Amino acid sequence: MNTHAKALLKAGGTVIAVNPGGVSLPAADMLARLGADCLFIDCERTAVSVDAVPAMARAAQAGGISAIVRSESRDPAILTRYFDCGIDGLVLPQVESRAECDMLVATARAATRGRQDDLLLIAQIESVGGIAALDAIATAPGIDLILIGPNDLAHSMGFLGDTSQPELVEAVRACAERVRALGRAFGLPCTAATIGEWRQRGAAFCYATLEVLLAPSLADLRKAIA
């Protein structure tokens, strides 16, 4: 188990987590070398399945960074399978109640035989229901961080994923401010253009996909040869 990301969070630092977008051990190695703090293994929105998780986690850990899985399910049996892969943390998606947080902590405790405090346990709020239950979720014992999901929240609010809508932008900001006021760390997707502002607002976990990180550099190359 690698506690780098959790230790950095506890020390008041900023965790940079990168989602490689699929199964790629070389990408895990590269991200570790280039300064990522956490490999974000996304089993919810990419083609990564549980059988690929152990190798990806070991690649991240060998490079000195943490491996965190976002599960496609809130079923305790599925979560246990991921914990048994030797990961360093787990993101529970679409959380809308304190009870789901309690379940995550209890599942982690059982799977690790009481070592759940070494894991980074993250509840993701990305729906109108999650916003409504924000206080209960953000104060649930054992949860380390609240991850705000603007894209799915935009769908939940009826904006078809359009994260530029003023109501969505305000909802994300209000959610972040409330979580921070409750004394819990929060994170959300960031880019090079937005990470400074969100760090000033207190973001402790900045998430990016490899696609988002590569896009500006590839655009610059295209401009250079135009």
Query: Could you read off the pLDDT of 184-218 as tens digits, one per residue?
Result: 999 999 999 999 999 999 999 999 999 999 999 99
4-225: which CATH number, 3.90.1660.10, 2.160.20.10, 2.40.50.1020, 3.20.20.60? 3.20.20.60
- pLDDT at residue 1, as a whole number: 85
- pLDDT at residue 177, as a whole number: 98
Give whole-number Cα distances, 166 to 170, 191, 207, in Å. Answer: 6, 19, 22
pLDDT tier for residue 160 given thresholds of 50, 70 and 90: very high
d(CA 29, CA 154): 33
d(CA 104, CA 32): 27
pLDDT tier for residue 5 given thresholds of 50, 70 and 90: very high
Q: What is the pLDDT of residues 13-65, one digit of tens each?
A: 999 999 999 999 999 999 999 999 999 999 999 999 999 999 999 999 999 99
- pLDDT at residue 226, as a whole number: 83
Asked whether residue 73 carries a pLDDT value surpassing 90, the answer given is yes
For range 86-113, the mean pLDDT: 98
d(CA 41, CA 63): 15
Q: Tokens 């703090």 map to which residue?
A: 37
| DSSP for 158-177, written as a single string | TSTT-TT-HHHHHHHHHHHH
Q: Would you kindly state where each structural domain of the chain is located, as residue ranges?
A: 4-225
pLDDT tier for residue 120 given thresholds of 50, 70 and 90: very high
Compute the mean pLDDT over every residue in the chain, rounded to the nearest whole number: 97
